[in-house]
Amino acid sequence: MFTTTSKRILNITVMQPKIAKNKHVCVAYLRVSTDDQADNGLSLDYQEEQCKKAAIRDGYTDINIIRDEGKSGTSLQRKGIQEVIELAKNKEISMVYVTHSDRLARNILDHAFLRHTFRSNGVELKYLNGQSSGNDAVSTMADNMFASVNQYHSDNTREKSQEATDKKARDGYWPTHAPVGYLNCENPDKLCEKVAKRIIIPNPKTGQLVTEAFKLYATGQYNTYELNQIMYEKGLVSNVGKKLVESVFTNMLKNRLYLGEIYWRGISVKKGKHEPLIDEDTFNKVQSVSTKHVGGRCRRRKYFWLLNGYVFCPIHNRRFCAEFHLNKSKAYYHCPHRDGCGKYVEKSDLEKQVSDKFKNLQFEPEFVNSIIERVKLIFETRRNDYYAKHRGFLNRKNAYEAKLKTVEDRLIDQTLSKDDYTRIKDEIKAAIAVVDSQINSLAKTKEVNIDTASEILNFTKDIYNVYMRSPEQLQKKFIGFFFERFEVQNGLIIKYRYSPLFEGLIQEKVLFYKTSKPEKALEITADSEVIIDPKLGAYRDSNPN
Ligand SMILES: [Zn+2]
């Protein structure tokens, strides 16, 4: 019954004056992730019903129901959404209905992409529960905020599951897929603690081959390419039965997990709980052979380059590059022009200058209020919806319990046999258990709703703190949301330009600066930062796009 293909469910032929064929065609886009599926508040049927109602109310006669079932909103690689995009691009539709913006996307870039695709093809977008999706600046702002919040939730969920895996790693258990040579399995010790339920053990087929690969490589007689081929012929394959990709094989030879150690997202445990496949001596020999082979290349530390793509050198009009300076153990951004600009800017320094820019941003109280009003409305709608459903479930439960009482009475009256009584009683008990589980999963949606509301409120109140608290990935999206570029000279941000979206908002006067000193906009000195008064218009260079 659930497919991702569209089907026209209503095709009422009415006499119409000749107009573009798409005018009466709309899409109801429905999505559930695997997590949502058990959840009534998000079921496909519920979404379909809501969207259909709205479409009929708006006078649509041709409604395409497009579903993505069991698909996460974190990517657009979904058959259904791709179909919607196609229909929009071919201008075959004029409206898309979704129950809530998070059905479309759980990340701000995808969300922006969809909006743009719809808008540029004359397709309207309507959310049934939630913010308006009009094209005015305030609605766009609100819409983008919801998109950030949707993403925040997705990131937050990931962080939570990371907490669990981190704990497992700290306790000495490898928390994820077993690398080649090991197998994931249940702990045979049934009384073990919870983190130890799933463990890794040497793979009986490939474990010994991994050991052998280390020993052969340690002789210095082989390069990784040859050795990978030799080991493959001996039967060393990945856990899905394929020959190891070159990089996997090379990384295997560097992986300290085989020594019995655990390295997981910054956590290191010298004595893991799994059985090592290699001794320290062989491992060290392998590392020294490997260093000789690649000419002693140094291992780079990993950094997240928050500002990549946003920082420019105004003299050479080049994007800054990010670099880790080995001698000084510090990370820098710098102008990559061959003559150089002399100065490198320390990563943390420049990133702090950017975060300070967020300090200056504040929303007009009226704007905050309008957002809060919207949030309240959404929240109330959802809460009413929640209580209505909750009541429905309780009524059902009560009805079952009344039924149970009736059959008990009939057993006592002896109008029901003992066997029939047992059968009916079991059926009713099972039905009650189902209702109970529905009530439980409904309670989960309520928590999420409250979180969403409070996140949005926090966001509008104090953008700087939200920015500072966010994980780097999300910070980067905030930067992209507000800013288009920063120009840096002598280590200081001397000019910056807002994103087109944000500039639109400034013109709508929904934002202002805390520092509303009427500075002259483009007066630049080497050591002072320009404060741009939004009333004078943000800085633009000769190429506004
Ligand atoms: Zn330069």
pLDDT tens sequence for the chain (545 residues):
334 444 433 333 333 333 445 678 899 999 988 766 555 456 888 889 889 999 988 888 889 999 998 888 888 889 999 999 999 999 889 999 998 888 888 777 788 788 888 988 889 888 887 555 555 555 666 666 666 666 666 676 777 677 888 888 999 999 888 999 999 988 888 888 888 888 999 999 899 999 999 999 988 888 888 888 889 989 999 877 888 887 889 889 999 999 999 988 788 888 899 999 999 999 999 988 877 665 433 343 456 788 988 999 988 888 888 877 656 667 888 888 777 676 788 888 999 999 998 887 766 667 666 666 766 676 677 678 778 888 999 999 999 999 999 999 988 888 888 898 999 999 999 999 988 888 888 776 665 555 555 555 566 667 788 788 877 877 887 788 778 899 998 889 999 988 776 676 566 555 444 444 333 333 333 333 333 333 333 333 333 33
Per-residue pLDDT, 13: 35
Residue 492 Cα, ligand 1 centroid: separation in angstroms? 13
Tally Cβ neighbours within 10 Å of residue 177: 9
Residue 487 Cα, ligand 1 centroid: separation in angstroms? 10
Per-residue pLDDT, 463: 79
CA distance 298 to 33: 43
Helices (H), 171-304: 207-218, 224-234, 246-252, 280-293
CA distance 289 to 199: 31
β 330-334/345-346 pair status: antiparallel
The half-sphere exposure of 341 on its side-chain side, counting CA atoms within 13 A, is 24
Residue 338 Cα, ligand 1 centroid: separation in angstroms? 8
Residue 311 Cα, ligand 1 centroid: separation in angstroms? 11
Residue 515 Cα, ligand 1 centroid: separation in angstroms? 30
Is 389 in contact with 442 (CB distance < 8 Å)? yes
Residue 336 Cα, ligand 1 centroid: separation in angstroms? 7
Residue 31 Cα, ligand 1 centroid: separation in angstroms? 48
116-125 CB contacts, 8 Å cutoff, 24+ apart: 117/85, 117/88, 117/89, 118/88, 121/88, 121/89, 121/91, 122/91, 122/94, 123/88, 123/91, 123/93, 123/94, 123/95, 123/96, 124/94, 124/95, 124/96, 125/95, 125/96, 125/98
Residue 353 Cα, ligand 1 centroid: separation in angstroms? 19
Residue 316 Cα, ligand 1 centroid: separation in angstroms? 5
User: Which residues have CB atoms below 5 A from the ion given as ligand 1?
Assistant: 313, 315-316, 335, 337, 341
Residue 182 Cα, ligand 1 centroid: separation in angstroms? 50
Residue 312 Cα, ligand 1 centroid: separation in angstroms? 8
Residue 542 Cα, ligand 1 centroid: separation in angstroms? 18
Residue 337 Cα, ligand 1 centroid: separation in angstroms? 5
Phi, psi of 541 (to 5 degrees): -100, -170
Helices (H), 171-220: 207-218
Residue 309 Cα, ligand 1 centroid: separation in angstroms? 15
CA distance 85 to 76: 10
Contacts of 30 by beta carbon, 8 Å cutoff, 6+ apart: 44, 47, 48, 51, 65, 66, 67, 68, 80, 98, 99, 103
Residue 501 Cα, ligand 1 centroid: separation in angstroms? 28
Residue 481 Cα, ligand 1 centroid: separation in angstroms? 26
DSSP letter (8 states) at residue 345? E
The two tokens of residue 322 are 């990010």
Residue 315 Cα, ligand 1 centroid: separation in angstroms? 5
Residue 297 Cα, ligand 1 centroid: separation in angstroms? 29
3-state secondary structure of 124: strand
Residue 332 Cα, ligand 1 centroid: separation in angstroms? 14
Per-residue pLDDT, 209: 94
Residue 499 Cα, ligand 1 centroid: separation in angstroms? 23
Residue 539 Cα, ligand 1 centroid: separation in angstroms? 20
Per-residue pLDDT, 283: 93
Residue 350 Cα, ligand 1 centroid: separation in angstroms? 16
Q: Which candidate, 202, 163, 157, places its Cα nearest to that of 179?
A: 202
DSSP letter (8 states) at residue 443? H
Per-residue pLDDT, 378: 65
Residue 314 Cα, ligand 1 centroid: separation in angstroms? 7
